[in-house]
């Protein structure tokens, strides 16, 4: 096992933090991303591809938005190099969902999403983001009470301003209505371009708020039929490689102490993990907060408490 660092990792915090520390004592380490930080111990695991550790084989049908899938999506979103800038919702009209089973509806919307991606490529629209499929009961209309899927999409476009986003939003909405194949075109388009169907995202914190409300909320939808993938990518969103920070066990004790102060209201299970000397877990905290903790830890003289 080697102590070498990935060459593509930003060395700023790392080089400052390990200064005057014995490399043989650096058994603890962090991988710091924009919105999530992984805490690891070298004796338990290593930051690399964990190939050969379980899993494998053919996947069974997806019948729910599982806790594991939800966690993976949250972590992936938090690892994005920059927060996404725009949110757009895509719904489907009653006439194209009528008479279809859950599985048939899932396959239909999957084809529509694939066609929308192909349309965007042909139209030269380069949006990079993440989509989430949600099943929700219709509150009105011909299919009231039935579960119908719709999409939440967050994305960014390089160099785009508000006018550019609003223009692309309308083009995407119109293309979606056409691709969906509904005969209720005027009604579907009015819903697609309604002010509640889009919003601007101004910070990572705001993106996390929207995620917790729409993307990762616990759904009451239960079925025995296959519903296909629940989330995925549009384009090629930029995932941050993360910054590698090596620490001694004394540093890690102080680091976890700061986390406990920041997360007083967290669940008991997580509080127990923070008290263990050797544990591997992750926390959803913005990078600048982690930077402040690390700066506090490396201070030669620390006051009682934590700097928050």
Rounded to the nearest 10°, the torsion over CA 224, 131, 177, 219 is 40
Q: What is the pLDDT of residue 47?
A: 42
d(CA 44, CA 292): 26
Rg of the Cα atoms in the chain: 23
User: CB neighbours of 129 closer than 8 A, spacing ≥ 6?
Assistant: 84, 86, 153, 154, 155, 156, 233, 234, 235, 237
Contact assessment for residue 174 and residue 190, using Cβ atoms and an 8 Å cutoff:
no
Q: What is the pLDDT of residue 53?
A: 43
d(CA 297, CA 307): 10
Residue 261: phi and psi, rounded to 5, are -65, -40
Q: What is the pLDDT of residue 23?
A: 56
Could you tell me which of 244, 281, 260 has the C-alpha nearest to residue 38?
A: 281
CA 291 to chain centre: 21
Q: What is the pLDDT of residue 168?
A: 95
d(CA 9, CA 240): 9
Strands (E), the chain: 28-32, 37-41, 86-90, 128-137, 147-156, 198-200, 231-234, 243-247, 281-283
| pLDDT string in tens for the chain (308-residue length) | 334 444 444 445 555 555 555 555 777 889 999 889 998 887 665 444 444 444 445 566 777 788 888 888 889 988 998 889 999 999 999 999 999 999 999 999 999 999 999 999 999 999 999 999 999 899 888 899 999 999 999 999 988 999 999 999 999 999 999 999 999 999 999 999 999 999 999 887 788 777 777 776 666 677 888 888 889 999 999 998 889 998 888 888 888 888 888 776 656 656 666 666 656 788 888 898 899 898 888 765 545 555 55
Q: Is 136 exposed, middle or buried (0-12, 13-18, 19+ CB in 10 A)?
A: middle
d(CA 280, CA 38): 8
Which pTM does this prediction carry? 0.78
Q: What is the pLDDT of residue 285?
A: 86
Q: What are the structural domain ranges in the chain?
A: 12-48+242-297, 82-234
Q: What is the pLDDT of residue 45?
A: 52
CA atoms within 13 A on the CB side of 114: 7
The strand pair at 37-41 and 28-32 is best described as antiparallel
Residue 175: phi and psi, rounded to 5, are -65, -40
């Amino acid at each position: 096992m080697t102590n070498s660092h990935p060459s593509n990792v930003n060395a700023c915090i790392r080089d400052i933090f390990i200064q005057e520390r014995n490399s043989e004592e650096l058994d603890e380490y962090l991988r710091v991303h924009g919105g999530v930080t992984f805490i690891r111990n070298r004796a338990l695991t290593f930051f690399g591809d964990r190939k050969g550790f379980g899993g494998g084989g053919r996947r069974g049908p997806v019948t729910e938005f599982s806790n594991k899938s939800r966690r993976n999506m949250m972590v992936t979103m938090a690892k994005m190099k920059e927060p996404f800038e725009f949110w757009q919702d895509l719904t489907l009209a009653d006439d194209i969902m009528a008479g279809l089973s859950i599985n048939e509806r899932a396959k239909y919307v999957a084809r529509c999403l694939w066609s929308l991606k192909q349309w965007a490529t042909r139209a030269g629209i380069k949006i990079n983001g993440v989509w989430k499929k949600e099943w929700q009961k219709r509150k009105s209309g011909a299919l009231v009470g039935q579960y119908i899927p719709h999409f939440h999409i967050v994305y960014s476009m390089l160099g785009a301003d508000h006018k550019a986003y609003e223009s692309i939003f309308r083009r995407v909405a119109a293309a979606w209505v056409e691709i969906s194949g509904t005969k209720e075109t005027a009604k579907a388009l009015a819903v697609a371009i309604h002010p509640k169907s889009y919003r601007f995202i101004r910070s990572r914190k705001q993106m996390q708020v929207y995620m917790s409300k729409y993307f990762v909320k616990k759904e009451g939808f239960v079925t025995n039929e296959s519903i296909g993938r629940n989330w995925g990518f549009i384009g090629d969103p930029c995932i941050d490689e993360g910054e590698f920070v090596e620490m001694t066990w004394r540093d890690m004790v102080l680091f976890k102490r700061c986390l406990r102060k920041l997360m007083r209201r967290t669940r008991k299970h997580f509080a127990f993990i923070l008290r263990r000397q050797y544990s591997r877990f992750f926390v959803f905290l913005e990078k600048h907060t982690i930077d402040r903790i690390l700066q506090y830890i490396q201070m030669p003289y620390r006051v009682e408490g934590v700097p928050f």
